[in-house]
Amino acid sequence: MQANVQLPLFDSHCHLNFSDFDGDRAQVLNRAKKSGISHICIPATKQQEWLPLIHESEVPSKENPVDIVMALGLHPWFISEHKPEYLEVLDKLLEQRSARVVAIGETGLDFFDHNTAAQVRDKQLALFTGHVELACLHKMPLIIHSRKSHDDILQVLRRWKPERAGIIHAFSGSEQQAMEYLKLDFKLGFGGGITYPRASKTRHLAATLPINSIVLETDAPDMPLNGYQGQRNEPGRVKLVAECLAELRGISFMEVAQATSHNCRSLFRI
C-alpha cells in the first residue's frame, strides 16, 4: 500500500462541536486526516447546537480535511432542557435539510441511574418516541443512545419500524439484544470500549457479529481508549478502534476499515 493512500475510516459518532475542541479543532481534524479518517458524523445533543452545526456544514468541503456530516436530535441526558416544541422545530429543519444532515440523533433513553424518577423516564420515552416518529416521517436513520434501556428502546422500534433503521451507539448490551437490533436492520456502534480486555462480552460480540452490522465510533471527547484514560478522546483514534477490531476478528485492518466505512456510507447515503 502506498503511504499516501487515503484510508476510508469513518467515525460515526464524534462530538467535535463541543467546547472541548474549541482550542485546537483544526489540529484535531488534521490529525484525524493523517490517521486515515475520511468522514466524521457529529450528532447534536441539544437544540442550541442545531443551527451552528448546519451553518458550519456550509463551509465548502475542500476547506475541511475531513468530510463532516451531522445528525440533529436531543440527548436524553439533557432532558430537563428540552422543550416539547423543539420537536416541531426539528421537523421543520429536517424538511429543508441539506445533504449533510444525514440522521436524527442523538436520541434515546438513559436509565443508568436506577433512581431515575418515573416522571423523568416517561419524559425521555415521549421525546425518544417523537424522534422515532420523525425518522419514519422523513425516512431518515436514527442515532440512538441506550443505557440500561435496550428493552424499552426495542419496544418502541418494533412498534414504529423506522424503515432506514440506524445505529445503536456504543453498544454494550447482551447478545440477545444485539440480535434483536439486527432483526430491525440496525447497526451497532463499537468504540474505545472494545480496547479494554475486561470488556469481554462486548469484545466477543464485536468479534463475532456480521461485519455488515458494525460501525466504528469514538464518542470523542468522551470514552477514552485503553491506554488513554483521563485524556480527551479524539476522532483520529478511530484508527486504533479499527486495529483492535481487526485483531479481535482475525482479519486485516483494511478489511475492517473498508467494511465499517461502507456500512456508514450506505446507511447515511453518502
CB of 5 to Zn ion, least distance (A): 30
CB of 247 to Zn ion, least distance (A): 25
CB of 64 to Zn ion, least distance (A): 21
Nearer to Zn ion, 113 or 175 (CB): 113
CB of 143 to Zn ion, least distance (A): 8
Q: Which residue is nearest to Zn ion (CB)?
A: 106
- What are 80's three cell numbers? 430537563
| Contact pattern for Zn ion over residues 95 through 114, marking x by CB under 5 A | -----------x--------
**For Zn ion, how many residues bind (rule: CB under 5 A)?**
1
CB of 135 to Zn ion, least distance (A): 17
What is the maximum span of the chain, computed from C-alpha positions, in angstroms?
A: 57
Answer yes or no: are the C-beta atoms of 107 and 142 closer than 8 Å. yes
Nearer to Zn ion, 7 or 76 (CB): 76
How far apart CA 188 and CA 144 sit, in angstroms, is 10
* Contacts (CB under 5 A) with Zn ion, residues 113-142: none
Write out the residues near Zn ion by the rule CB under 5 A: 106
